[in-house]
Structure 1
Amino acid sequence: MDKGHFLIDVNSEEILNLKEKINILEVKIKEIETKLFPFEQELRNAIADLLIEERELTILYKEQKKAKKVKRLEQKRKGKNYKESTGIVPVSKKTEVEKANLKEKKRLYKEAMLYVHPDKYSMQENEQQKALEITKKLIEIYQNGSLEEMQAFHAHIFGGNTTMSFEKDSSLVKKTTSNTAYLLNEIERLEKKLADLLDSYTYKVLTTYQNPMSFVEELKAYYDDRIFKLRKRTRTKK
């Protein structure tokens, strides 16, 4: 074997157990979403007109509130004791720690992206698909995740848990933390997603109502009441 390459160790019992747990969670989530999402779409279709009107009135209400605020400010300006604001707004500056964390997160992102970029596997279809999935996750964590999440995924990649073979600088191995951290974080994320789905009101309706679509009448009553109140606030007639 070339010194510049390494073999992925996929025999770690701990890692295999964590991956199996992730797979089970993903299957459960998919099963629920496959049933829940079409049901929610049916509900939206059944009250589409009410949803549109409620949205339009909500926007109108916000615009009217904004206009009233501007009008009150104009009236204050006409007062004798009114003093114009200097317009200086305190700007919150990132702390040195936050800057350092952002810099480190960017470094880890670039380092990982350099090694797993899909273009490196243009002649290996299976490897390129894996690379696409990994880079997609990398970008997601870089844009929305924390430094800890990036460190965990970086360790996951260079700890040999992606079932990919690529050139590897031995110094990167020394810099990685526990290569199970990302898997543990992923399990926590999936468990929360599953719990949120199970706790959602529409899922409870779907699984407990004898006729789930009867929930449409409850939704209509709710939106009729909300629209009535919004019309009063905006003085809008039907």
Structure 2
Amino acid sequence: MNLPLVHESSDDAQIRLLQQEIQSLKAVLDEVEGKTVSFEAMLRQRLGELLIEEQELTVLYKQQKLAKKEKRLAQKRKGKNYAAPQGLVRSENSKKEMLPVQHQEYKRLYREAMLQVHPDKYAMREDATDVATELTTQLIAIYQSGDLKELQAFHAFVMGGEVPVAAERVPVLKQPLSTLTLLQREKTRLEEQLDSAKAQHLYQIWISYTDPMAFVEELEAYYRDRITKLRRRTRS
């Protein structure tokens, strides 16, 4: 006895195709994000201390320039009666006394927070660079104050990621969305997420360099040179 052939409907065929495309998109997205995360972790491991010192010296240099400008203005106003204020000193002597274990935790929190908000991380986003610069300046001031609780609060804030936006009220649908519509929306969402992941600066470096380690070496040389110059400029 021959069984009748069951023909796949048009919707069923589209659903099956969309499911395959979604699985493919997820696999590519996982691969792209995995490479980006691994590359960033390697950069932090290799360049973390250089990034932190460069940013500390940059903030100090800006402070010293501002202090010199204010000093010149004050001297013009006061003339011969001018008395020079004490200069800025890069020192950790202002830190509060703490136990060795607390000090290790203090340094860990500072390092993690600094790498999270370092302006170079947002080099491809002009809108975020100024905010990152301001946050690093605040972080350095907190670190120099020696206030562990304040540093913990700052660390928790910056490691929390994006500030959630208040969700708009979702209208109640009279009829549930079809499986086909839901899959089409999921595919669109994944395509947008994949485009965003591929546009990340570190991923672009990963795919544009034949040997990504060459970029790391270039970056390391750049920061060492910049730190040498900043040390000379901020020498008191």
Relative to the length of structure 2, the TM-score reads 0.41
